[in-house]
């Protein structure tokens, strides 16, 4: 087999966790793959996974819940044309592996097939975007509880109007090993942590909420006092702003989006429409439009799974392909799609390393990693000053998107009115309503302050959730429909 993985230490550790304890080796994996090729299939793979995860939550000054779980298993897939057969087992053994392989080969056409073995070279120097360590072991239970208690104390000290604090801590240690019928074996060890805080402020009988948090592919040591101060400060500030918020006006207006997390609108309204499966089936509004203008000049959007320590980054995707930085839109022109192996093959396009799955019990599909718009040349202050009357959206809550036509509705959890180029007062209940491709063409100014989110994104698709990152610079968008409460 041809190893493709960030370093030999990772592959060795993955073998020790996922194969050796169960009496498996590469030879037995090759036999299982070969058994699927007694029928004619185009491609097959085995996906082994071991995951430890935990979650802690604090409310009213005490830890209310604590959870810990271990999951492990193997997913077996065979692909023939555009058809896929898939089975999985939470038992890792030679018997379970062969039974799963037998179930999947029924998709193939009758007749003899063969296992294809191809030479695949690892990139020079390998890749290690994050340390392959167990973040759950970086603090003991007492220290994890203390971390939550500290952020609560910091938040309460910020302002006497804070009446309630809820904090959560989550960690995951994920080990995966992929073996493919083209001869590739790949492994990855993926740490992931997240800290979140929500506060409720009360004044004159009115209560408002503010939230913050972040994380990435590192240990709990990341959450030092400076980070706790920032998260608590941001959550408290958002709640206090909303205490003074007035009902939002409605109608078409100029909207300025803040940098960072507001890129979630880009992710939902545009990013999903650029995933290969939707475009191969012709269900995306972007289908068949490569080489065409789909956005205003200056708009460049990339999906980048190679950013160190980021929540959406991976050394390899869930098919064992290296992740990469893929330019999707360049200066307003559609350049490509996000692809996994099957959709890339059927569309005769390059694989982009975007195959992702929630676990061994799920099929991979093309998914985003870290999706963001590149910065422009305008100063953010200049962008605000250019707006006579409009809305400044600082943060977003929930939203809905229709992939087939790009229509979206997003709620702003923090927003301000802009009058004569200045922020005048906060508003509550503002929603942005529009069409993704149309909004991209209404971008009139792009800031030089591109920022990624703090590491909180979760993307859902066809019932599967995976961690992602988003980002963007300050943007001015003209003629956006705002739904309000005034």
SS3 465: strand
Residues 68-96: tens digit of each pLDDT: 999 999 999 999 888 899 999 999 999 99
Q: How many CB atoms lie within 10 A of CB 458?
A: 10
Residues 229-278: tens digit of each pLDDT: 999 999 999 999 999 999 999 999 999 999 999 999 899 889 999 999 99
Q: What is the pLDDT of residue 290?
A: 97
Burial class (CB in 10 A: 0-12, 13-18, 19+), 161: middle
Predicted confidence (pLDDT) at residue 16 exceeds the cutoff of 50: yes
Q: What is the pLDDT of residue 109?
A: 52
Q: What is the pLDDT of residue 248?
A: 95
Q: How many CB atoms lie within 10 A of CB 247?
A: 12
* Gap between the Cα atoms of 68 and 411, Å rounded: 33
SS3 451: strand
* Gap between the Cα atoms of 369 and 55, Å rounded: 23
Lowest mean pLDDT among 35-39, 108-112, 167-171, 478-482: 108-112
Element (H, E) at 401: strand 389-401
Predicted confidence (pLDDT) at residue 154 exceeds the cutoff of 70: yes
* Gap between the Cα atoms of 200 and 240, Å rounded: 9
Predicted confidence (pLDDT) at residue 310 exceeds the cutoff of 80: yes
The predicted model gives 391-400 an average pLDDT of: 89
* Gap between the Cα atoms of 193 and 349, Å rounded: 34
Predicted confidence (pLDDT) at residue 209 exceeds the cutoff of 50: yes
Work out the angle at residue 359's Cα, subtended by the Cα atoms of residues 50 and 103, and round it to the nearest 5 degrees. 100
Predicted confidence (pLDDT) at residue 178 exceeds the cutoff of 60: yes
Lowest mean pLDDT among 20-29, 398-407, 411-420: 398-407
Predicted confidence (pLDDT) at residue 116 exceeds the cutoff of 80: no
Q: What is the pLDDT of residue 3?
A: 47
How is the beta sheet containing 325-330 ordered, strand by strand? 333-334, 325-330, 301-304, 370-373, 469-472, 451-452
* Gap between the Cα atoms of 446 and 458, Å rounded: 26
* Gap between the Cα atoms of 452 and 432, Å rounded: 21
Q: What is the pLDDT of residue 4?
A: 47
pLDDT tier at 8, thresholds 50, 70, 90:
low
Element (H, E) at 235: helix 225-243
Q: Which among 437, 312, 448 is positioned nearest to 373, based on CA atoms?
A: 448
Burial class (CB in 10 A: 0-12, 13-18, 19+), 226: exposed
pLDDT tier at 403, thresholds 50, 70, 90:
confident
* R_g (Cα) of the chain, nearest Å: 24
The predicted model gives 205-231 an average pLDDT of: 97
Provide the whole-model pTM: 0.93
């Amino acid at each position: 087999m041809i190893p493709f993985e960030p370093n030999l230490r990772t592959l060795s550790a993955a073998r020790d966790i996922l194969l050796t304890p169960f009496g498996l080796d590469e030879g037995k994996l090759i036999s299982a793959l070969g058994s699927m090729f007694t029928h004619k299939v185009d491609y097959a793979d085995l996906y082994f996974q071991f995951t430890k995860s935990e979650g802690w939550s604090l409310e009213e000054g005490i830890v209310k819940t604590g959870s810990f779980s271990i999951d492990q298993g193997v997913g077996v897939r065979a692909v023939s044309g555009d058809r896929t057969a898939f089975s999985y087992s939470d038992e890792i053994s030679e018997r379970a592996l062969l039974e799963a392989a037998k179930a999947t080969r029924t998709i193939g056409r009758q007749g003899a097939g063969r296992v294809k073995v191809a030479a695949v070279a690892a990139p020079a120097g390998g890749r290690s975007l994050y340390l392959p360590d167990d973040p759950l072991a970086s603090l003991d239970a007492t220290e994890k509880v203390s971390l939550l208690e500290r952020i609560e104390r910091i938040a309460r000290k910020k302002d006497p109007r804070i009446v309630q604090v809820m904090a959560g801590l989550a960690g995951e240690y994920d080990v995966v090993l992929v073996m493919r019928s083209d001869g590739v074996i790949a492994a990855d060890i993926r740490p992931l942590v997240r800290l979140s805080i929500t506060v409720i402020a009360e004044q004159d009988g009115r209560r408002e909420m503010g939230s913050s948090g972040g994380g990435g592919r590192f240990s709990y040591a990341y959450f030092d006092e400076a980070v706790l101060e920032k998260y608590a400060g941001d959550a408290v500030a958002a709640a206090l702003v909303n205490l003074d918020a007035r009902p939002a006006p409605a109608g078409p207006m100029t909207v300025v989006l803040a940098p960072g997390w507001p890129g979630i609108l880009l992710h939902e309204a545009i990013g999903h429409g650029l995933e290969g499966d939707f475009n191969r089936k012709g269900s995306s509004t972007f289908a068949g439009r490569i080489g065409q203008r789909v956005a205003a000049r200056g708009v460049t959007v990339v999906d980048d799974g190679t950013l160190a320590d980021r929540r959406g980054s991976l050394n390899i995707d869930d098919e064992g392909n290296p992740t990469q930085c893929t330019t999707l839109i360049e200066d307003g022109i559609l350049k490509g799609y996000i692809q996994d192996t099957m959709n890339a093959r059927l569309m005769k396009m390059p694989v982009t390393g975007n195959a992702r799955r929630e676990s061994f019990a799920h099929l991979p599909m093309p998914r985003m990693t870290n999706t963001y718009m590149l910065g422009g040349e305008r100063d953010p202050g200049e962008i605000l000053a250019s707006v006579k009357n409009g809305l400044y959206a600082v943060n977003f809550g929930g939203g809905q998107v229709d992939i087939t036509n790009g229509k979206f509705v997003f709620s702003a959890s923090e927003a301000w009115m802009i009058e004569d180029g200045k922020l005048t007062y906060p508003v509550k209940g503002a929603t942005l309503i529009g069409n993704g491709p149309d909004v991209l063409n209404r971008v009139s100014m792009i800031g030089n302050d591109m920022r990624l989110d703090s590491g909180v994104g979760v993307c859902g698709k066809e019932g599967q959730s995976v961690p992602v990152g988003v980002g963007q610079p300050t943007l001015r968008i003209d003629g956006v429909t705002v739904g309000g409460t005034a």
